[in-house]
């Protein structure tokens, strides 16, 4: 099994086994979580294919199985299922164990600050493809959803998002070379700001938000249907 497949497997195994916990019963949310992951994941895989073809990022074959979908390693395609599944699990764990914790003021200031930072940096670094699209997308979707609709579930989302950053940064750290001689996933330095958390481009934080936020939004919308 390839190194990247092991990362996917370890990311998924814990949340999957705990999905049957009697308090959270995450398995009962599969009918809304899985469609949300597939819908958003399809868009991100298309983005991934395009950026890979244009050399914005790429993959080290030494850590891959060699199986590809279009030009993407199968491991990269699985990433868009295993990581969102784990993040959605954390979101529902927080809702199950802390149902009355809705930090409305924190949500407002987070949303305002996040939107301003994301859109401002996207415009400043508009020539960097990854910076521009990841940050502009994250900033706009947050601005439109929060300031346009202010959904009731948004305050529940903020703290889980912060929590998900811990496993997300661990996984991304491994993928970007924190524990290996060469990175599993490399980035074209001409298309990122260059600021990194150890080995992780700062853009990945906004990318994670851009991926997770619509998944939770679709999941919550389907729950109400």
Mark residue 177 as left, alpha or beta (left: phi above 0; alpha: psi -120 to 50; beta: remaining).
Answer: left
Please, what is the angle between helix 74-97 and helix 3-18, to 10°? 30
Contacts of 57 (CB under 8 A, 6+ apart): 51, 130, 185, 186, 187, 188
**Number of compact structural domains in the chain:** 1
60, 182 Cβ separation under 8 angstroms: yes
Query: In this predicted structure, what is the pLDDT of residue 225?
Result: 83
104 lies in which domain range? 3-224
Rounded to 5°, the CA angle 82-87-92 comes to: 125
Nearest residue to 129 via CA among 215, 43, 71, 47: 47
HEC secondary structure over 63-80: HCCCCEECCEEHHHHHHH
Q: What string of pLDDT tens digits covers the 225 residues of the chain?
A: 999 999 999 999 999 999 999 999 999 999 999 999 999 999 999 999 999 999 999 999 999 999 999 999 999 999 999 999 999 999 999 999 999 988 999 999 999 999 999 999 999 999 999 999 999 999 999 999 999 999 999 999 999 999 999 999 999 999 999 999 999 999 999 999 999 999 999 999 999 999 999 999 999 999 998
The pair of three-digit structure tokens given for residue 117, joined into one six-digit string: 């930072």
Please give the distance of CA 110 from its chain centroid, rounded to a whole number. 17
What is the C-alpha to C-alpha distance for residues 108 and 6, in angstroms, rounded to an integer?
38
């Amino acid at each position: 099994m390839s190194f990247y497949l092991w990362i996917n497997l370890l990311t998924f195994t814990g949340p999957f086994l705990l999905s049957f916990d009697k308090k959270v019963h995450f398995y009962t949310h599969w009918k809304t979580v899985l469609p949300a992951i597939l819908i958003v994941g399809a868009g991100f895989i298309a983005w991934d294919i395009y950026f890979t073809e244009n050399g914005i990022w790429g993959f080290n074959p030494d850590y891959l199985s060699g199986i590809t979908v279009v030009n993407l390693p199968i491991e990269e395609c699985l990433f868009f299922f295993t990581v969102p599944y784990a993040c959605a699990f954390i979101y529902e764990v927080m809702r199950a164990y802390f149902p009355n914790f809705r930090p409305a003021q924190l949500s407002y200031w987070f949303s305002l600050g996040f939107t301003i930072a994301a859109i401002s940096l996207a415009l400043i670094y508009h020539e960097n493809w990854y910076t521009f699209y990841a940050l502009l997308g994250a900033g706009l979707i947050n601005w439109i959803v929060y300031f346009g609709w202010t959904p009731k579930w948004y305050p529940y989302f903020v703290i889980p998002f912060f929590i998900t950053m811990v496993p997300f940064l661990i996984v991304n750290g491994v993928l970007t070379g924190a524990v290996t001689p060469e990175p599993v996933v490399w980035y074209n330095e001409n298309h990122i700001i260059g600021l990194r958390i150890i080995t992780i481009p700062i853009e990945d934080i906004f990318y994670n938000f851009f991926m997770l936020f619509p998944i939770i939004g679709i999941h919550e919308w389907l729950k109400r249907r």
